[in-house]
Structures are given as structure tokens and as C-alpha cells.
Amino acid sequence: MPRHTPGRRDGAEGNARLTGSTAAVLFVLLVAEGVTVLSVRSLLTPHVFIGMVLVPPVLLKIGTTTWRFVRYYLGAPAYRTKGPPPAALRLIGPIVVLLTVVVFASGIALLLGPASWRANMLLLHKASFILWLVVMAFHVLGHLLDTAKLAPQDWVRRTRRQVVGAGVRQWALATSVVIGLVLGVIVLPRVGPWLTSGYPGHR
């Protein structure tokens, strides 16, 4: 009978796997969100819904990448051995995070804030989105191979047991998506009145 070989306890590898699988989910959701942008006037409801679904996974990915950054620069052996991302990706990383926060925060403020905010929030949302799209393209291309390699490893039987904690990572990602779905459902009733009251650019 084959003996069970327990997975290794490698926090850096586990963090990388969670980052990769979260990035894969975000990629699918962002493509769907991008489709709604092509005709946002007629697809505003799915645009808002998908946007809210994105929020928790985005926060999860920011959390995992920030954790890697902190652990690496604090000298944690596993993270030092794994090494940092390429220099160019490290340079644009903080810009990606900042623009991501601005895009989502301005979108939420545009939807839930008072009517007096709408013109300014719309301008900020559009401008930050254009900049975000440019840097995100470099970010995605730079991490594409790593994401393709890491994303399935906690979900494939052959590799999921190699690193302890696959179940926890799966639940963390699934929970973030479920919370996003709940947020989307909660916010959807605001779309109709928001449009009816008059939204600059959608008249």
C-alpha cells in the first residue's frame, strides 16, 4: 500500500498559490466587466453587479501580495528563498494597487454617494480606469505564466496536497466570491433610482 506523504509547510508557496488562483478568478471577472464597458449604458446593471463581485477578491489579492512584500523585506527565509518579482513588476505594483483602489472606490461612491458627488466621481472613475487599464495590461502580461502555473495547483488532485493548507486557501477564495455576490445583490436595487435621478453621461 502506498504511504501518505504529507505536504510541506511552505508559507511562501501557499501564498503564491492563493495569489495565483485569485488572479485567475479576477481575470475572468475583469474580462466580463470589460465586456460591459463596451456598452455600459445598456449593460449598467451587470456592470455594477460584476464590479461589486470583484471587490472582495481584489482585496484578497491585495492582501496576499502585500503579505509577500512584507515577509520578503522582513527577511522571512521562505520568502527570501523564493525571491521578489522582477524589478519592473515591483515598480508598477504599487501603482496598480493605488489605481485599483481609486477605480473601485470612485465607482462605489458614484453609485452610493450623494447626487452632488456624481460629476466629480464620474470624471475620477473614467480617468483612473484609463490609467488602470494601461498598467494592468503590463501587470497581467508580466504575471501570466506564473498565474497559469500556480492557479490550478490547489485544485488539482496531483498537486493540491504538496503544500499544506490547500483547503483553507480554497475556502478563502470561494468565500471572497460569495461575499462579492451578496454585495452585488444588495447594491443592485440602487441602479434603477440612480439612473432615473439623472447620471451625467447617461442622459
Query: Which of 2-6, 111-115, 188-192 is the least confident region?
Result: 2-6
pLDDT of 9 above 80: no
In this prediction the pTM is: 0.88
pLDDT tens across 23-62, in order?
999 999 999 999 999 888 888 899 999 999 999 999 999 9
Question: Can you give the pLDDT at residue 7?
Answer: 67
pLDDT of 202 above 60: no
Residue 176 within a domain: yes
- Share in percent of the chain as helix, strand, coil (round to 5): 80, 0, 20
Q: How far apart are CA 94 and CA 70, in angstroms?
A: 13
Residue 199 within a domain: no
Neighbouring-strand partners of residue 163:
8
Residue 3 within a domain: no
- Structural domain range at position 118: 11-193
70 near 21, Cβ under 8 Å? no
Residue 174 within a domain: yes
Q: How far apart are CA 41 and CA 5, in angstroms?
A: 55
